[in-house]
Chains A and B, each alone.
Chain A
C-alpha cells in the first residue's frame, strides 16, 4: 500500500480522539514548529487523561481522579488548540476531509488524524444486568470502584493484562477475587507459559482464586443484578460484582461509510497514512511495520506516544517508516513486568540475568534463531539494557515490489 499525499501545505489539522495518542500528536506538531490551526474532537466530556493508572492507582483509590489528567489546564491552553469535547465523531468524508459530529458540527481540515482508540468487548447479557463492568474510561473506573467498595465477591472474566491487573488491585482492596478465562494462566498469550506460570503462582499466593482453562459461557442474574459467571463446565462462580476484560475492538464504526480500509483497525501504510491527508494513530491504527513486513496494531501506552510523534512528522512532510520495538509494562502486586519486542508463544526462553526463584530476572525470547523479545520481572533497567538485542536481530526489510 502506497499513498501519495496531495495535501500541500497544511493549515488546519483535525485530531479525532482526545486521549494519549491524540494529545501527543498535537504536542509533537507544536514541538516540531507547526504554526497552523489545530482542532481536537473528543467523545468524552473529560479533558485528556491517561489510561494505565485506571486499573491500578485510580481503581485502588491511591490517586484522586484528577491525577490521571494528561496535562494541566495551563499546559493545554499553551498548545493553542481548540478542544471540542463531549461530541463524538459520526462520519468522515475523506475526499473533502470533513468530519460530522454527534451534535451536528461539520469540521473540515487539511489533515485528519484518527485517534479514536478501542472499545471493550462485552458478553451478550451484560447490558441487562447491573454489577457488570468494563474498564476503558475514567467513568468506567470510578463506577467499578464504587461497586468494589460496596461488594465482597468479584469475578474477573479475562486473564489478559487488564483483567489480571484488576484482579490484583481488587484483591489488594480486600475483596474475594476469582480470575476466570480460557487460557492456562494470567497473560498466557502475552508472555508465554513460563512467566504466565509464575504470575499464576503470585496471584494464588496473594489469594486470587484462579479458575482458568475453561471458557465463560455467560452471566447469571437475580432481579436484574449479576449473581454469577457460568463456565463451559456448567459451574457457576458466584459474584456480586463482575468485570469483563475480554479484549477490545477498534472504534471504527463511525468510519463505516468512509471508504477507508477497515480490517481490525484503520489500515495504514508504513507512514501511518490511511488515505491522502488521513492518518491513524494509537490503538485504532493498523499499519505496515516495514521491519516485520506485515500489518500490526498495538494496544499499548508507549505506542500511543511514539506513533503520535511519527504521525506529526508525517503530516509535516517527514518521510520515514514507523517501525518501533513495542514496549509495555504491567504492575501486579509487587511484580513489575517490562516487555520489549515480541514474545511468541513458541519462543525459546532463557533467563539471562537474575533468577526465577528470587522473582527478579530478565528473560530473553528467541524464535526462528533470532531474539524477538526481552522480559524483565522486577529488573526494569537490566531489561531495557538488552532491548538493543532485539533491534540488532530485526531482519532487513523485504525488498519493495
Chain B
C-alpha cells in the first residue's frame, strides 16, 4: 500500500490523525497533513483506508 496526500486540498481537519495516528500527523503551524510513512505496514491498512474515507477534503489517495 502506498499513500499519497495532497497538501493543497487538505483543510487541516485532522480526521486522518484520529483514524491512523501512526501514519498521519499535522503541521504545528497550520494543521496541514504530514505523512509519517508512505508505505504503511499491512496491519495499518484498514486504518489508512478509514483515514482516506473520513477525510472531508478528499486529500488522501491510496495506491494498493
- Write the residues of chain A forming the contact surface with B, with a CB cutoff of 8 angstroms: 24, 27-28, 31, 50, 52, 70, 301-302, 305-306, 309, 327, 329, 331, 336, 338, 376, 378-382, 384, 387
Identify A380's interface contact among B18, B26, B49, B58, CB under 8 A.
B26
Interface: B39 (CB within 8 A): no
Q: Whole-angstrom distance between the alpha carbons of A301 and B28 in the complex?
A: 24
Identify A302's interface contact among B12, B27, B49, B56, CB under 8 A.
B56
- Rounded to whole Å, the gap between the CB of B62 and the closest CB of chain A is 11
Q: Whole-angstrom distance between the alpha carbons of A378 and B11 in the complex?
A: 11
Contact A384 B56 (CB under 8 A): no
Taking A50-B58, A384-B17 as contacts, is the C-beta distance between A338 and B53 under 8 angstroms? Answer: no
Contact B26 A302 (CB under 8 A): no
Contact B31 A336 (CB under 8 A): yes
| A378 nearest CB neighbor, chain B only | B30
Q: Which residue, of A31, A301, A379, A380, has the highest number of chain B Cβ atoms within 10 A?
A: A380
Contact B27 A309 (CB under 8 A): no
- Rounded to whole Å, the gap between the CB of B63 and the closest CB of chain A is 12
Q: Which residue, of B26, B30, B31, B49, has the highest number of chain A Cβ atoms within 10 A?
A: B31
Taking A338-B31, A380-B30 as contacts, is the C-beta distance between A305 and B56 under 8 angstroms? Answer: yes
Q: Whole-angstrom distance between the alpha carbons of A215 and B23 in the complex?
A: 49
Contact B15 A302 (CB under 8 A): yes
Number of A-B contacts (CB under 8 A): 59
* A301-B56, A387-B18 known, 15 other contacts, Cβ within 8 Å: A27-B53, A31-B49, A302-B15, A329-B13, A331-B11, A336-B12, A336-B30, A376-B31, A379-B31, A380-B12, A380-B14, A380-B30, A381-B31, A384-B13, A384-B17
Q: Whole-angstrom distance between the alpha carbons of A28 and B52 in the complex?
A: 12
**Chain B positions 4-24 with a Cβ under 8 Å from a chain A Cβ:** 11-15, 17-18
Could you list 19 A-B pairs, sorted by A, with CB under 8 Å?
A: A24-B53, A50-B58, A52-B11, A302-B54, A329-B56, A331-B11, A336-B11, A336-B12, A338-B12, A338-B14, A378-B30, A379-B31, A380-B13, A381-B12, A381-B26, A381-B28, A381-B31, A384-B13, A384-B14
- Write the residues of chain B forming the contact surface with A, with a CB cutoff of 8 angstroms: 11-15, 17-18, 26-28, 30-31, 49, 53-54, 56-58
Q: Whole-angstrom distance between the alpha carbons of A331 and B8 in the complex?
A: 14
Q: Whole-angstrom distance between the alpha carbons of A336 and B13 in the complex?
A: 10
| A28 nearest CB neighbor, chain B only | B53
Taking A50-B58, A378-B30, A380-B30 as contacts, is the C-beta distance between A309 and B14 under 8 angstroms? Answer: no
Q: Whole-angstrom distance between the alpha carbons of A305 and B49 in the complex?
A: 14
Main secondary structure on B side of the interface with A: loop
Taking A380-B13, A384-B18 as contacts, is the C-beta distance between A306 and B30 under 8 angstroms? Answer: no
Tell me which residues across on chain A come within 8 A of B27, comparing CB atoms. Answer: 381
Tell me which residues across on chain B come within 8 A of A27, comparing CB atoms. Answer: 53
| B11 nearest CB neighbor, chain A only | A329
Q: Whole-angstrom distance between the alpha carbons of A93 and B54 in the complex?
A: 32
Contact A306 B12 (CB under 8 A): no
Identify A52's interface contact among B15, B26, B56, CB under 8 A.
B56
| A20 nearest CB neighbor, chain B only | B56
Contact A327 B58 (CB under 8 A): no
| B57 nearest CB neighbor, chain A only | A52
Q: Whole-angstrom distance between the alpha carbons of A283 and B35 in the complex?
A: 31
- Rounded to whole Å, the gap between the CB of A64 and the closest CB of chain B is 14
Identify B54's interface contact among A305, A376, A381, CB under 8 A.
A305
Tell me which residues across on chain A come within 8 A of B54, comparing CB atoms. Answer: 302, 305-306, 309
Q: Whole-angstrom distance between the alpha carbons of A376 and B31 in the complex?
A: 10
Taking A24-B53, A28-B53, A52-B56 as contacts, is the C-beta distance between A327 and B31 under 8 angstroms? Answer: no
